[in-house]
Amino acid sequence: MIVAGVDFGTLSVRVTLMETKTGATLAGATAGYPLKRSAADPLLGAQAHADHMTALAAAMREAIAKAGIDGRQVAALACDTTGSSVVMVDADLQPLADYYLWCDHRAHHEAAEITALGRAEGLEALNWCGGTYSHEWGYAKVLHFLRHNPDLRDRFATALEHCDMVAATLCGITDLHELPRSICAAGHKWMYGARWGGLPPQDFLSRVDPLFDGINDRLAGRHVTSDAIAGHLSAEWAEKLGLSAGIPIPVGAFDAHWDAIGAGARPGDIVNVVGTSTCIIGMGPEGFPPVPGLCGVVPGSVLPGWTGIEAGQSATGDVFEAIARRAGSDVATLCEGLESVPPGGSGLMRLNWDNGDRTVLVRSDLGAVTLGWDLNHTAADEMHAAIEGMAMHVRIVTERIESGGAPTARIVNAGGIPQKNAVLNQIYADVLNREVHVPATSPVGTGSCIFAAVAAGAFESFEAAQQVLCPPSQVFSPRPEARLGYDALFALFRELYFGFGEGRSVHLGAVLPQLRANRLAGTERI
């Protein structure tokens, strides 16, 4: 049986075709689309639905041609997307404007208002998304749209996450009440929870702003996990994609959640989906409590029967690329030889808030900080400090997840970057003092294929599908000689992280001398 997995990223869509009996990848293809930015409004990040769908058709047909198959052999299709990427539509499900992409930060005022009232009123739903409602999430973006587009309010019928919009489009669903709504998206970005009856109370939202009156009725639909079927491929889209009409399409989800499954994640793992940003995914037992600062604790958001835990970093690969760009170099060149630098050996400490802090501070108003510069520092030194800073931030997030009672035995580095950066994986292993498992090939698209394969009936469970379809992993073990150094460096990082981020007391007079001592000790390589 052949299945198609679709991954909509920030700049392109990837189609992967896999054979379910052998686990072989038959072909893959990508097609790009523009990310709309504005010098006049640096917080804007938008994309057009039509661009997404045109790219999907192009990538699907290219993948089919590369595989040398008849597209009618494909038994199921599954799609993951970025999120929270939100599009406002009319009663015919036609977009009223471009998507507010996940990296669109225009709704920060709206998010702050939701957070302030939620805290004042003790809104339970707010606790389950970390105690702070993000400017990247759905309700904030809807309110920003309604406030800034008064001429479109009368035509506004509903808002859809990208994963729900693409499924509805492919299945030809036009009834607002029949719309598939992903529990993954609704739980992490829209404060949806079965324990308080679904979406947060309408009267609370109306007190945030009367423009929210009736919003929950507009967000009606089927809120279900991804073991459910969203619908079946319409004849129109079957023709555009070169597939058979009527094949099943499961309810979609966010890319990082399905990437975690494609990387072989199982309950108890922490998966860092490392790309332009990092999404950190865990799975805890049923009954796992809400934890302050996390981006959401949602039953069923990754796998049915387990509680999905989400956290993240607002910029990761983007930071590495920016350092290289400013140096007129590239990331690979700057990383050459860094594996032998001891803990803190550059003498620099970098807080990677170049795009704010997503977890655990949830502050978009922070900027990056690099301490310890001298006249001889190089871009490679900054790169080493940036990788260390990313790893130490992940350690803070991991400790916060563990505070809720979830075991975290394995660390998995997935996404597009780890396969290309062994230095990053080794530093993560050293800083976290545990094995880091890295899929031998990028699992992007594999998770979608797993969900498509289960929807097609090729496997009885997601775990069985993982056994066949997931790539093997390379293991990076922590180096014993690095442990004491990184424990000391992390203690300093933690002080500065919460000092700058929350205003906690820090003995600043000791910081720069310690970094200088690290630099002097760094002349002795590991």
Is 84 inside a domain boundary? Answer: yes
* Number of domains into which the chain is organized: 2
- CA 243, 244, 245, 249 torsion-angle sign: negative
As given in the structure block, the two tokens for residue 104 are: 């669109």
pLDDT score at 409: 74
Q: Average pLDDT of 375-399?
A: 97
Q: Can you give the pTM of this predicted structure?
A: 0.87
- Which residue type is seen at 84? S
Query: What confidence score (pLDDT) does residue 100 get?
Result: 98
Helix (H, G, I), strand (E, B) or coil at 475: strand
Residues 208 and 138 reside in one and the same domain: yes
Average pLDDT over residues 374-384: 97
Residue 151 has pLDDT above 90, yes or no: yes
Q: Are residues 250 and 269 in the same domain?
A: no
Containing domain of residue 99, as a range? 2-254
- Residue 202, SS3 per DSSP: helix
CATH code of the domain in which 320 resides:
3.30.420.40
Domain-embedded: residue 121: yes
Dist CA 305 CA 322 (whole Å): 40
Q: Does 384 have pLDDT greater than 90?
A: yes
| CA dist., res. 468 & res. 470, Å (int) | 6
Q: Are residues 307 and 433 in the same domain?
A: yes
N residues, the chain? 526
Q: Does 329 lie in the same domain as 224?
A: no
- Looking at the predicted structure, is the pLDDT value of residue 173 above 90? yes
**Is residue 287 pLDDT above 90, yes or no?**
no
Report pLDDT digits (tens) over 361-375.
988 889 999 999 999
Average pLDDT value for residue range 400-421: 87
Residues 221 and 314 placed together within one structural domain of the fold? no
Establish how many alpha carbons lie within 13 A of residue 205's alpha carbon, considering only the half-sphere containing its beta carbon: 20
Residue ending a domain, choose from 230, 254, 278: 254
Identify which of 376, 378, 352, 355 has the alpha carbon closest to the alpha carbon of residue 365: 355
pLDDT greater than 90 at residue 415? no
Output the pLDDT for position 447.
94
- Tell me the per-residue pLDDT of 239-251, one tens digit each, with 9 for 90 and over: 999 999 999 999 9
Residues 238, 271 share a domain: no
Which range is least confidently modeled, 152-156, 164-168, 363-367? 363-367
Over residues 10-17, the mean pLDDT reads 95
Q: Are residues 250 and 299 in the same domain?
A: no
Give CA separation, 46 vs 21, 37, 98, 116, 306, in Å: 39, 7, 6, 27, 33
Between CA 493 and CA 269 the distance in angstroms is 24
Pair 244, 307 in one domain: no
pLDDT digits 0-9 by tens, 429-447: 999 999 999 998 888 899 9
Number of Cβ within 10 Å of residue 212's Cβ equals: 20
pLDDT over threshold 70, residue 347: yes
Asked whether residue 362 is domain-assigned, the answer is: yes
* Same domain flag for 354 and 483: yes
Between 406 and 163, residue with greater pLDDT = 163
Give pLDDT tens digits for 70-96: 999 999 999 999 989 999 999 999 999
164 Ramachandran zone, left/alpha/beta (phi>0; psi -120 to 50) = alpha
The pLDDT score that the predictor gives to residue 523 is 62
- Same domain flag for 78 and 222: yes
% of the chain at pLDDT higher than 70: 99
At residue 5 the predicted structure's pLDDT band, cuts being 50, 70 and 90, is: very high
What average pLDDT score do residues 195-218 get? 96
Whether a cis peptide bond, with omega within 30° of 0, leads into 84 is yes
Confidence class of residue 526 from pLDDT cuts 50, 70 and 90?
A: low
**Domain finish residue from 220, 254, 288:** 254
Query: Which element (helix H / strand E) includes 450?
Result: helix 446-455
The answer to whether residue 406 scores a pLDDT higher than 80 is no
pLDDT for res 525? 56
Least-confidence region, from 98-102, 252-256, 284-288: 284-288
Q: Residue 434: what pLDDT?
A: 92
Cα 457 to chain centroid distance, Å, stands at 28
Query: Which residue has 């406030």 as its token pair?
Result: 147
Share of the chain above pLDDT 90, in %: 81
